[in-house]
Structure 1
Amino acid sequence: MIERRIKVDLAATIDRSPAVALLGPRQVGKTTLAQEIARMRPSLYLDLESEADRARLAEPELYLAGHEDKLVILDEVHRAPNLFQILRGVIDRGRRKGLRSGRFLLLGSASIELLRQSGESLAGRISYLEMRPLDALEIPEAQIERLWARGGFPDSFLAKSDALSQRWRQDFIRTYLERDVPMLGPRIPAETLRRFWTMLAHHQAGLHNAAELARSIGVDGKTIATWLDLLVDMLLVRRLEPWHSNSGKRLVKSPRIYVRDSGLVHSLLGLATIDDILGHPVVGASWEGFVIETLIAAAPEGTQAHFYRTSAGAEIDLLLTLPGGKRWAIEIKRSLTPKVERGFHHACADLEPQRRVVIYPGREPFPLGHGIEAMPLVLLGQQLVAQH
């Protein structure tokens, strides 16, 4: 069993809020974590994909009133959107009885329906947490290469062989295309959306160019925007926005696009082993996305993540603005002998960040001059966790 870092945050949030929504992609480990929490306190678990459990909620107010003393865990809650309005009344009646926290834990495989429904119905009564795939701080450091190759979905990472891991990811992608997308989003032919998702993997870490994608697939730019919004809302794709200011410099305005799980990047491109990945042009961009996901997951709540790029070539891969305003400028290199390019120096001169770090795949930190440190991913991640 891999201890998930979010467990402590989840338990603390349940203790202070009447309802907590734990959001994350399918198969990321939400149910396993919820059942761990359930063993720590009186609880009731209902899976809303189960007909039997849905039948128990035929009269939800009556049923839930009989379990006021328990944490009620509702899995796949987006399958019963009408529940949100009812939960509001149940929570308000409980508050009048002094039941102010620990009432409901809602698990959702995507943010779309959950946020749309609960944003209106449960405002002021619900807290949100995002559960991500495993990151580099949750596993032994010696297994980082495997985590990068296979991705952070537990069943993929823990598979007995690369082939079984690849098979799991292929099935995962097919399930999303054939089942989850039609349930949560517009009707899109599965093969067309697979082409789009695969093209995003080919362009990992690239600037978003809707017109180019639209021409390649044969649709219009608005359709591309809708599909991208869908994959972002399903927590499968990250849209990293550019940093902007009133400095007068000509800044890039398009976001960078990343398929969030490196294992899915590799699977979409047919890369099953480390050797396959190292021989493919995506290797640097895939490593960059992997590092960015780990650092954003490690950063304290309220941290803003951007990239920085000017038309003159000044560039920072990841700019983290921590609560309080401190900026950490992070360059990401796949080489064991990282070299800092002129664009990073120019960007740091523009922004004057408090930390200047180059992440590389080695084990030891060392200075690179000009106030820049070369550092392993895990060490910088631990320093971000310490900022909480």
Structure 2
Amino acid sequence: MKQIKRELEGELRKAAGMYPVVSVVGPRQSGKTTLVRAVFAEKAYVSLENPDIRAYAVEDPRGFLAEHKEGAILDEVQRVPDLLSYLQEMVDTDRRAGRFVLTGSQHFLMMRDVSQSLAGRTAILSLLPLSLGEIQEDSGLENLDGVIQRGFYPRLHEQQLDPYPVLRDYFQTYVERDVRSLLRVHDLQTFETFVRLCAGRVGQLLNLTSLANDAGISPTTARDWIGLLETSFILFRLMPYHANISKRLIKSPKLYFHDVGLAAFLCGIEEARHLKNHPLRGNLFENMVIADLLKQRFNRGRDNRLCFFRDSTGNEVDLLYPLGPDFLPVEIKAGQTVSQDWLRGLKTFRKVRTDKGPPGLIVYGGKQGQRRTGGTVIPLGMMVQEIRELEENR
């Protein structure tokens, strides 16, 4: 089995040279444990998923930490949140950089505990599933439907597994473990239906009332469940662009999944060929591109400042990617034939933007790049390089 080198490694090593604690958060099976154990091979490894070890850490946190005075990797630390207060005492006494490495697969829960106990003592990095750049060398991007259906969890690529049963088991394990531990969901079948309804809405404006009605739950429950899905890195909300402009803008966010393969599975796509004429193919392609650009920022230790533009008349730009103080407008199209109509949203955004940012970019499902008036058209395989060059020149 070949392990894929992760782009976050450089930021991880840098953070370990600056802070006594480094925290790596991300979805289950995104490769957190593999990464930190490879980078910090000399450190003791402790999994708090192990019931016996977890009981020890809960019942005698000082005794547990005393066994690791020189530091350790504490995996899935959100399982023992009170441990962080005792860890604070320990690192305040000895502020050596890179002493403890924490991982967690529950984002906001862990962030809250870290902010209370380890503020100023830890760097927090996010590791999402593999990026396009990380799989491109080994797998290539020739078969886009295959890339979408497989998704980006490392195990699928490193072991060349059939994605459908792996993603099915992943989702069932998530429901049985994380959902039960994070929220008292009494009707798991209704929750599963709700998640599938979310997958069918990728790339669409979030309408909680409509989503709740379709799932047969209250809007309040729908809001709580969306929060749960964000907490455990299943999906994220892309927020709308706001600026001091007179034109009325849409205020609702859009829904996207951190892994497009999981979204495709939840939409009932069992094989790549099922995507060819699927009505959500364009939405899933868009999901893949936006999730990848989020990974590009996280892998370099940057915050999520991605957003989208849409006005009240329906003019839209799929993504605004931050370039310093400016935004790069990005249109995302799964089609292989370039249409002049694809430039409409870019032209509208140029009229209302408050910065003097770069011209637009169109990422599409074709293979040839084009320099057009009002926007540069590039295939998916060129996207990361194109944006990196733009960032270097800003």
Q: TM-score, normalised by structure 1?
A: 0.91
The answer to whether the 8 A contact 1:338-1:358 is kept is no
Where does the alignment leave 5 or more consecutive residues of structure 2 unmatched?
none
* Partner residue, 2:311: 310
**Given residue 182 of structure 1, which amino acid in structure 2 is its aligned partner?**
R
* Partner residue, 1:135: 131
* Partner residue, 2:370: 366
Q: Which of 287, 290, 303 is the equivalent residue of 2:288?
A: 290
Deviation at 1:54, TM superposition (A): 3.4
Deviation at 1:384, TM superposition (A): 3.6
The answer to whether the 8 A contact 2:149-2:163 is kept is no
Counterpart-to-counterpart distance in 2, 1:34 and 1:260: 21
Counterpart-to-counterpart distance in 2, 1:368 and 1:79: 52
* Partner residue, 2:121: 125
* Partner residue, 1:264: 262
Counterpart-to-counterpart distance in 1, 2:259 and 2:77: 24
* Matches for 1:112-261 after TM superposition, within 5 Å: 112-140=108-136, 143-144=140-141, 145=144, 146-158=146-158, 160=160, 164-261=162-259
The answer to whether the 8 A contact 2:237-2:256 is kept is yes
Q: Which of 271, 274, 277 is the equivalent residue of 1:273?
A: 271
The share of aligned pairs that are identical, in percent, is 32
The answer to whether the 8 A contact 1:298-1:382 is kept is no
Deviation at 1:56, TM superposition (A): 5.7
* Partner residue, 2:9: 7
Q: Secondary structure at the match of 1:329?
A: strand
Counterpart-to-counterpart distance in 2, 1:56 and 1:358: 54
Deviation at 1:272, TM superposition (A): 2.0
The answer to whether the 8 A contact 1:136-1:147 is kept is no
Counterpart-to-counterpart distance in 1, 2:68 and 2:344: 63
* Matches for 1:45-84 after TM superposition, within 5 Å: 45-54=45-54, 57=57, 59-69=60-70, 71-84=71-84
The answer to whether the 8 A contact 2:178-2:232 is kept is no
Against the structure 1 CA distance between its residues 298 and 382, is the aligned structure 2 distance closer, same or farther, given a 3 Å change threshold?
Answer: farther
Q: Secondary structure at the match of 1:307?
A: strand
Counterpart-to-counterpart distance in 2, 1:303 and 1:115: 15
Counterpart-to-counterpart distance in 2, 1:158 and 1:266: 20
Against the structure 1 CA distance between its residues 262 and 107, is the aligned structure 2 distance closer, same or farther, given a 3 Å change threshold?
Answer: same
Q: Secondary structure at the match of 1:138?
A: helix
The answer to whether the 8 A contact 2:24-2:104 is kept is yes
* Partner residue, 1:319: 320
Deviation at 1:205, TM superposition (A): 0.5
* Partner residue, 2:385: 382
* Range that drifts further, 42-51 or 279-288: 42-51
Q: TM-score, normalised by structure 2?
A: 0.90
The answer to whether the 8 A contact 2:202-2:256 is kept is yes
Deviation at 1:86, TM superposition (A): 0.2
The answer to whether the 8 A contact 2:183-2:228 is kept is yes
